[in-house]
Amino acid sequence: MCGIIGYVGKEPAAPKLILGLKRLEYRGYDSAGIAVRGKEGFSVYKRKGRVSGLESAKDLTGGCGIGHTRWATHGEPSERNAHPHIYGKFAVVHNGIIENYRELKEECRARGEEFASDTDSEIVAHLLAFYDGGNVLAALKTVCARLKGSYALAVMCSDGEDALYVARRKSPMIVGKGETGLYAASDVPAVAECGELYSLADGEFAVLKGGDIRFYTAEGEIRKEKMARGSAEDIPEKGGYAHFMLKEMYEIPASIANSLVDFEENSRFLAFNIVLCHTEYIQIVACGTAYHSGIAAKYAIERLARIPVEVTVASEYRYCNPIVKENTLVLAISQSGETADTLAAATLAKERGATVAAVTNVRDSSITRIAHFVLYTNAGREIAVAATKSFNAQLALLYSIAVALATAKGRAARFEALRVLPSLSAQTLAGIEEIKKVVPLFAEADSVYFIGRGADHCAALEGSLKLKEISYLPSEGYPAGELKHGTLALIGEKTPVVAILTQRALAEKTMNAVSEVYARGGKVLLVTNIPELAAREEVFESVLLPACEELFSPILSVIPLQALAYYTAVFRGNDPDKPRNLAKSVTVE
Ligand code: F6R
């Protein structure tokens, strides 16, 4: 989603801003811009499209500037809507959504002010100009008190000394000290050169000036602890792979191995284990790919621990007046830990008395401040917009929870069945290039369907989501039994259908659906661990998976589906790392 970078220091700001924006490109955006403070006021460069369009701004000389990558919410992707927004002596970049911007705009218009963009963000520059009494921090505090919604803001003023003013509410903002100056950014990779980083909490402000950073709340100045630094801030490298997505798929075995937790063995999770003993109901809230891992968790937890699990898309949970009974554990799953809908759902669940455990891949992300317990997947930073290794890591952690819950409830479940998953995923990966032979069929299809029963349903949903988001092919995932209740009408000559079949007890039932597709001329790609099924005449092509505990098979069966999406996207000339219209972390509602 949108990205922010700011620099104030001894060197020209423009090249640093452009570099920072390039490092934020993976988040997804549709326009970009920078503003640099010079003797004659601001120099502003904005472009629709890629950050590379800003290269001509590199020679600007000022040492103070702000930059932004915009993912359009209010107003089309265009130069006029790109940030920074300038009004009077203020330049502003903003992430988030100002929910009351319409009424605030009316107020400004009534004073005769005109707006240069269709965005909600521009209002901040207008309000700063209105409340400016010579103290920018005081004006920023007053403006923030008037805003409803979410924001990370970086502000610069054309008079006075070189300085940046930043603020945060429900949208990440960090500041840091580098060798040549001070930085502000929405995400760590943008400021990888900083030796010291500080993460702002909601309601906090920072002023970056004269080589020093000072922190404030609305009430006054505060002290802040430095952020602990881990490998997460490494500058992303493709490591010889054509795309981050492919590299990240090859990191799946390590991400599974690093995310499995033997809760019984690990005393660090003692308190969480006690919660598991008392848990009678589970609710899972998540979005997109994380929602699919919730569906896989439901199958595993209900089967192993016999505890009822409800999985709800987070954006629905928050508005469905959820019933939270006593002893309910809510698992809020979010790779980024910043998804606005998941944060809101987790907050609501907590207010209603649930114990909330966050499953996230990002240390110190916003969800870690809401949850009672934080369970980290250790997939490493994921750069490609389409989630791959983080999904497999989520499954590894959620299956570990299923085993721990079963143990807590005195039911038989073996953690050993999970220990083999890293090596089985490596075996699965070794064969992924095979999938290329069906890519031309898929790449030219009008639509594609994915079907699976039981635990395989989650892989069908995730395979379909991957394909649509990076290859732009219309695609749907269904429980296999649903096909005949409507979708069969869409199956015709050469329609590709991916059937995932890893549950022996359900094999013949799913093969009925495969036969129905075959009878109508559809082409079935069977992803299975049952060799004899692959030889059936109804099967057009097959991928044979290594045998594993059936309940956990989605962690393997999704791998060829991720590969299918990747190679189809490349075949169609798309950039799989930066799908159109999508963002890596969706920080707006
Ligand atoms: C799909 C994808 C998205 C995310 C969703 C939730 O590849 O990446 O569907 O899964 O936006 O994101 P997180 O997990 O960060 O909450």
User: What is the DSSP annotation of 381-428?
Assistant: ---SSS--HHHHHHHHHHHHHHHHHHHHTT----THHHHTHHHHHHHH
d(C-alpha 388, C-alpha 390), whole Å: 5
Domain 432-575 bears CATH identifier 3.30.360.10: no
pLDDT at 231: 42
- Residue 234's pLDDT band (cuts 50, 70, 90): low
Show the tokens assigned to 232.
């997460």
> Please, are residues 321 and 305 in contact by the beta-carbon 8 Å criterion?
no
Round to whole Å and give the CA distance between 163 and 397. Answer: 44
Tell me which residue has tokens 């954006």: 315
- Angstrom CA distances, 241 to 237, 247, 404, stand at 9, 6, 37
Distance CA 17, CA 289 (A): 32
The reply to whether CATH 3.60.20.10 applies to domain 3-232 is yes
Res. 230: pLDDT tops 80: no
Asked if the model's pLDDT at residue 495 lies above 50, the reply is: yes
- Cβ 360 under 6 angstroms from ligand 1: no
Asked whether the predicted pLDDT for residue 239 surpasses 80, the reply is no
pLDDT of residue 589: 74
DSSP 291-360: HHHHHHHHHHHHHHH---EEEEEHHHHTTS-----TTEEEEEEESSS--HHHHHHHHHHHHTT-EEEEEE
What are the pLDDT digits (tens) for 351-360? Answer: 999 999 999 9
pLDDT tens, residue by residue, 437-471: 999 999 999 999 999 999 999 999 999 999 999 99
- Convert the pLDDT of each residue in 122-148 to its tens digit: 999 999 999 999 999 999 999 999 999
- 287 close to ligand 1 (CB < 6 Angstrom): yes
The answer, yes or no, to whether residue 393 has pLDDT greater than 90, is: yes
Assess whether the C-beta atom of 289 lies below 6 angstroms from ligand 1. Answer: yes
Is 584 tagged catalytic?
Answer: yes
Residue 115 CA, ligand 1 centroid: distance in Å: 34
Residue 580 or residue 525, greater confidence: 525
Q: Are 334 and 288 in contact (CB under 8 A)?
A: no
Mean pLDDT in residue range 86-108 = 95
Active site residue 194: no
Q: Is the per-residue pLDDT at 587 higher than 80?
A: no
Q: Is the CB of 187 under 6 A from ligand 1?
A: no
Q: Separation of 468 CA from ligand 1 center, angstroms?
A: 14
For the ranges 16-30, 262-276, 312-326, the one whose mean pLDDT is highest: 312-326
β partners of residue 44:
35
Tell me the pLDDT of the chain averaged across its residues: 93
CB-based contact 579:385 (threshold 8 Å) = yes
Q: Are strands 373-376 and 355-360 parallel, antiparallel or unpaired?
A: parallel
- Indicate whether residue 163 lines ligand 1 (CB < 6 A): no
Query: What pLDDT score was predicted for residue 19?
Result: 93
387 lines ligand 1 (CB under 6 A): yes
CA distance 428 to 440: 22
Residues making up the chain, counted from first to last: 589
User: What sign results for the dihedral spanned by CA atoms 313, 315, 321, 326?
Assistant: positive
DSSP state of 180: S
pLDDT at 232: 43
pLDDT score of 25: 83
Cis geometry, peptide bond prior to residue 560 (ω within 30 degrees of 0) = no
CA separation for the pair 221, 215 (Å, rounded): 6
Structure tokens at 284: 């899972």
Residue 223, pLDDT score = 95
In terms of phi and psi (left: phi > 0; alpha: psi -120 to 50; beta: otherwise), the region of 465 is: alpha
Phi-psi region of 306 (alpha: psi -120 to 50; beta: other; left: phi over 0): left
Q: How far apart are the CA of 59 and the centre of ligand 1, in A? A: 37
Q: Is the pLDDT of residue 233 over 80?
A: no
- What number is the average pLDDT over the span 39-64? 89
The better pLDDT of the pair 578, 141 is held by 141
Q: Please, are residues 410 and 237 in contact by the beta-carbon 8 Å criterion?
A: no
pLDDT band at 229 (very low <50, low <70, confident <90, very high): low
Domain ranges (residues) in the chain? 3-232, 240-419, 432-575
State the Cα–Cα distance between residues 114 and 174, nearest whole angstrom: 32
CATH no. of 240-419: 3.40.50.10490
Instruction: Give the ligand 1 atom nearest the CA of 583.
Output: 11
pLDDT at 170: 84
Contact 197, 174 (CB under 8 A): yes
User: Pick the residue with more confidence: 307 or 489?
Assistant: 307
**Cα(383) to centroid(ligand 1), Å:** 12
Q: What is the pLDDT of residue 75?
A: 86
Nearest CA to ligand 1 atom 16: 334
Taking residues 238-256, report their average pLDDT. Answer: 92
The residues with which 152 forms a beta bridge, in sequence order, are 95, 168
CA distance 433 to 481: 30
Same fold yes or no, 3-232 and 432-575: no
CB 429 within 8 A of CB 253: yes
Q: For 516-526, how does the pLDDT look when each residue is reduced to its tens digit (9 = 90+)?
A: 999 999 999 99
